[in-house]
A and B are shown apart, each in its own frame.
Chain A
Amino acid sequence: MKTAGCLILLLCLLANTQAQPKKPATGIVKIFFNNRINNHPVVLNDSTYTNPFGESYIIKKLKYYISNTVFYSGGKPLRQKNRYWLVNQAIDSSLSIRINLPENNYDSIGFLLGVDSARNTSGAQTGALDPLNDMFWTWHSGYIMEKMEGSSPQSKIVNNKFEYHIGGYEGENSALNFINLRLPADKKLSIQKGKMSTIIITVDINKFWDSGYRLTISETPVCSTPGILAKQIAGNFSKLFSVEEVTN
Chain B
Amino acid sequence: MKIKIIISLLLIVLTGTSFLYDGPPKPTYLKLTIPRGWPKPGNNIFANNPLTEEGFQLGKKLFYDGRLSKDGNIPCASCHQQFAAFSTYDHDFSHGFNNSFTKRNAPPLFNLAWMKELHWDGAINHIEVQPLAPMTAKNEMAETIENVLKKLNTDTSYKRMFKAAFGNASINSQRMLRALAQFTGSIQSYNSKYDKVKRGEATFTMSEEQGYTIFKASCNACHTEPLFTDNKFRNNGLDVNKSLLDSGRMAITGNTADSLKFKVPSLRNLYLTSPYMHDGRMITLQQVLEHYRSGINISQSTLDTLLKKRIAISEREEVDLLAFLYTLTDKDMSTNKRYAEVVTYKIHEGPH
The interface of chain A, by Cβ under 8 A from chain B, is 2, 5, 120-126, 130-132, 136, 138-142, 173, 225-228
Contacts and interface: CB of A to CB of B under 8 A. Distances in A.
B229 to A, nearest CB: 20
Contacts of B172: 126, 130
Interface string B105-130: 00000000000000000011111110
Contacts of A139: 123, 133, 137
Contact of A136 (B123, B132, B149, B181): B132
Contact of B177 (A5, A123, A140, A227): A123
A8 to B, nearest CB: 13
B302 interface: no
A141 B124 contact: yes
Given A123-B178, A136-B132, A138-B136, A131 B173 contact: yes
B146 interface: yes
Given A124-B128, A138-B133, 10 more contacts: A123-B128, A123-B129, A126-B173, A130-B173, A132-B145, A140-B252, A141-B126, A173-B253, A226-B254, A227-B254
B152 to A, nearest CB: 13
Nearest to B49: A123
The residue among A120, A121, A124, A125 with the most chain B CB atoms within 10 A of its own CB is: A124
A2 B48 contact: no
Contacts of B245: none
10 tightest A-B contacts by CB? Answer: A123-B128, A124-B177, A138-B132, A141-B125, A124-B128, A124-B174, A123-B126, A227-B254, A140-B123, A121-B125
Contacts of A125: 174
A121 B129 CA distance: 9
Contacts of A132: 145-146, 149, 173
Given A225-B254, A226-B254, A131 B129 contact: yes
A228 B181 CA distance: 33
Interface in B133-178: 133, 135-137, 145-146, 149, 172-174, 177-178
B125 A130 contact: no
Consensus secondary structure, chain A interface: loop
B3 interface: yes
Nearest to A227: B254
A228 B254 CA distance: 9
Nearest to A5: B3
B104 to A, nearest CB: 12
B181 A123 contact: yes
Nearest to A228: B254
6 contacts: A123-B178, A126-B174, A138-B129, A138-B133, A138-B136, A140-B252
A130 B174 contact: yes
Contacts of A2: 3
B67 to A, nearest CB: 17
Contacts of A123: 45, 48-49, 126-129, 177-178, 181
Contacts of B135: 138
A124 B172 CA distance: 10
A122 B173 contact: no
Contacts of A131: 129, 132, 145, 173
A130 B149 CA distance: 13
Nearest to A1: B3
Contacts of B128: 123-124
Contacts of B146: 132
Nearest to B128: A123
Nearest to B254: A227
A140 B254 CA distance: 12
Contact of A124 (B3, B129, B136): B129
A167 to B, nearest CB: 12
A123 B132 CA distance: 11
A231 to B, nearest CB: 11
Nearest to B252: A140
Given A123-B178, A126-B174, A139-B133, A173 B3 contact: no
B345 to A, nearest CB: 34
B49 to A, nearest CB: 7
B257 to A, nearest CB: 12
A121 B126 contact: yes
Contacts of A142: 125
Contacts of B127: 123
Nearest to A123: B128
